[in-house]
Amino acid sequence: MSQVQETKIVTADATALGVFGLSLITFVASTQKLGWTTGSVYLMPWALFLGSFAQIWAAAVDFKRNSYFGAIVLGAFGLFWIAVMMHWAIANGWFGEVPANADAKQFGYACLGYMVFCVFVTVAAFEANKVFGAIMVLILVLLGSLGLQLLGIEPEIFGQSAAWAEFLISMLGFYGSGAIFLNTFFGRQILPLGKPMGWVKKAA
C-alpha cells in the first residue's frame, strides 16, 4: 500500500511590510502636500518601491496564506501607487512633452472611484482591528478630499484636508506596522491594535 506524504509550506505574515510601505509613501507624499517639500520627482521612487512593490508583494503572500483582507486591500493600494507614480512621471515629462489635452481631473475621478471601493473595505477593516479601521476612515477623507481638489472644488480647503489626512495615515500606519511586527515576532500582544468592533458577524 503506497503512502502519501504531504508537505506543508509555511509562509510568514507579510502584513507589517505592506503596511510599512503604505506608511512610508503617505508620509513622504504628505510632506509635499503640506508644503514641507516641493515637487514630485523624488516622490516617485518611494511610490514605486514602497507604495507599490512592497504592498503588491505583501498581497501576493497574503493570497498564498488565504488572508483575504490583506491580499485584496494591499493589492488594490499597491496598484493605486503604481498608477500615481505613472501620473507623476507623465506630468514630469518622463515620456516626452505632456499633451495639451492632458486632464488631471481624470486622476480626481480615479480617487473618487477608489473612495467608493474603500467604503466597503472600511466596514471589513473595523472587523479586523480598530487601527486598520481608523486608517481606512482617514483614507476615505484623503481620497475624497484629493478627488474634490483635483476637480477644482474648494482646492485650498480640500488640499489641506487631504494633506493632514495623509500625514495621519502615515503616523497610524507606522504604529500599526510596528505593532504587527512585534506582536508576530514575540507571539503575543506587545502593542494593542484594538479589538474588532463586532458590528458584522462572519459566517461560521
Percent of the chain with pLDDT over 90: 88
pLDDT at 195 over 80: yes
DSSP H helices in 13-154: 15-33, 44-46, 55-64, 68-91, 105-126, 130-150
CATH for 33: 1.25.40
Radius of gyration of the chain (CA): 19
**Span 44-72, mean pLDDT?**
95
193 falls within a domain: no
200 falls within a domain: no
Domain span including residue 133:
15-94+103-186
Crossing angle, helix 130-150 and helix 155-186, to 10 degrees?
150
**Confidence tier at 11 by pLDDT (50, 70, 90):** confident
pLDDT at 65 over 80: yes
Residue 154 corresponds to which cell in the numbers above? 474648494
| Model pTM score | 0.92
198 falls within a domain: no
Which tens digit of pLDDT belongs to each residue from 13-37?
A: 899 999 999 999 999 999 999 999 9
196 falls within a domain: no
Which residues 6+ apart lie within 8 Å of 82 measured at CB? 47, 48, 51, 52
77 falls within a domain: yes
10 falls within a domain: no
112 falls within a domain: yes
User: How many structural domains does the chain have?
Assistant: 1
